[in-house]
Structure 1
C-alpha cells in the first residue's frame, strides 16, 4: 500500500476540486479535514462513509484514508506531525504532550475503524470551525508567535474532537503497538539536528535492524531512499527557518548541525538551484509582487 510523507512540521491548504479523487493512502502524520462545501465519500481503513458540508474529521498516522467527491468539494486540510505540537516547550511538557498524542492516536484509530460521524455537538462543531479559521489566518499571515498560536488552536481542536467520541460498549479500545516505520520517522524528525544519530549504524542499533536492511525496510514502507529522505527533510527545515524566522544562515547552520555556513549553502543550492540568500530574496520579491 502506498504511503505519503510530511516534509514540514505543519502543512495547511484550502482546496476546491470539481472531481476530488484521492486514492486511499497511509499518511504518516495527523490530519484534520473540514468539508467547507460539497458531498462525497471518504474511505477510512477500507470502510466507506459519506461526507457533507460542515463535517470535520481527524485522521491519525495509522489510518488509511481517501476521498471521492460526488459534488464540487471545497475543503481545508491541516496536516501536522507530533513534533509540531511538542516544540518550543521544556522536556517535561514535551514528553507529556507526546504521551497525550499517543493516547489520542490510539483512541481515534479505534474510532475510525468503527464509526462514521465524529462531531455530535453543534456548538462544538462551530467552535472547531472558528478555530480552523484562526489557524488559516495565522498560517497565511505568519505574524510573530504564529506557530505557538497554531499549536494552541490545534490542541484545542483535538480536545474538542476527543470529547465528541461516543464510547461504544461493544468495542473495547485495543492498545495497538505503533508501527516501526512511524517510530523511525519520528526519530528522524526529532534528531534532524544531530547528523551522527542519523547514520545507518545508529539507526540500525536504535531499531534493532541490520545495517544492510535499514535502507531496504525504509524504502519498502515509504517508497523513498532513507538518506534522500533525511536530506530533503533537513532542507525543508532550512527553508522554514529561512522564510519564517529571523535566524541568520549561520544560526540555521548551527541549529541543524551543518559543518558550517558554506556546507549549508552547498547543500541548499544542490536542492533548490540557488543560494539560501537568493532563495529568500526571490520569495519575498514574489510575495511583494502579488
Structure 2
C-alpha cells in the first residue's frame, strides 16, 4: 500500500508477484489477506506459516508480516482502520467484539473450510468490482453492506478460534513450551531428540517427562516430533526442489523408504505423489 493511500480508512488491492522483499506493517490498520493462487511462507511477527491457495489471514495493527520462498502468488489485501469499523456500527456498539479484542495472530489460516473461503473471497471480489467501476468505497451503501458481512464472518471465525483454544483441557506450561521450542530448534538433529537426551537436557526422568508432556499437549513427545518433522517435509516438497533423498537425509530418516512409509500414513500420499499433486502449472 503506497503512501498516497495509506491514510484511507478502507482500501483494497490485488497483487501478483513472486517476491515481496520487505516486512509490511501499518500501525493503524487491520488487514485481511486472501490467497487467490500460489504457495509460499507468510512470516507474521517472526513466526513462519506455510500458505496455499484459498487461505485467509487476519492481521492486526501491531502485526508485522512479510512473504518468503514464494511461488508466483496472487493475493487480495483488504485494509481497514478501527475508526472505519466504528463508523459501521450505527445501531449496535458491541458488533464484532472479537475483531476489536484481537491481540495475537492466529497460528494458521482464519478459515479452513473451502466453501466458506470461497464465500468470503466472492464478497471481496465484489468490492474489487465496485472499485474498478470507479465507485467510491466510502459512503457507498453497497460497500458498507459488503463490509458488514465480511466483518461478521471474520468475527465469527475469530470467535470459533477463541472457543477452540479455551476448550483445550490444559494450556501448555512455560516448561512444556521450552521443550517444544527445543524440539523445533533441533528437528534436523535426531540424536538431540532421543528421549534420554531430552530427559538429560531438562533434568527429568524419561518416564516423568513423557507423562508430563502427554498430559499437557495431548500426544507423546515422539508423536509430536514426527508430526512436526513431517510438516517441515511437506513444506520442502511444496516450496523447494530438493530430492526426496535429500529431504530424508536432512531430517534424519533412516532412508527414503522410512520417509515414504511415515509420510503416507499421515498424508495418504507418498512424498513424490504429494509433490506432483501440489505443483503449480
TM, length-normalised to structure 2: 0.50
Larger radius of gyration: 2
TM, length-normalised to structure 1: 0.48
